[in-house]
Homo-oligomer: A and B are copies of this chain.
Amino acid sequence: MAASTMNQFMHQALELAQLAADHDDVPVGCVIVKDGVVIASGENRREIDNDPTAHAEVVALRHAAAALGHWRLDGCTVIVTLEPCVMCAGAIVNARVDAVVIGASDEKAGAVGSRYNVLQDPRLLHEVAVTWDVESAASVELLQQFFAVRR
Contact status A65-B50, CB under 8 Å: yes
Q: Which of B71, B90, B125 contacts A90 (CB 8 A)?
A: B90
Contact status A87-B85, CB under 8 Å: no
Number of copies of this kind of chain in the complex? 2
Residue in B closest to A97 when the chains form the complex, CB atoms: B52
Q: What are 21 residue pairs bridging A and B, where the CB atoms are less than 8 Å apart in the complex?
A: A46-B71, A50-B68, A50-B69, A50-B70, A50-B71, A51-B62, A51-B65, A51-B66, A52-B73, A52-B94, A53-B91, A53-B94, A86-B86, A86-B90, A86-B93, A87-B87, A87-B88, A87-B93, A87-B94, A109-B125, A116-B116
For the complex of A and B, list the 6 residue pairs with the smallest distance between their C-beta atoms, beginning with the closest.
A87-B90, A86-B90, A52-B95, A52-B71, A87-B91, A52-B94
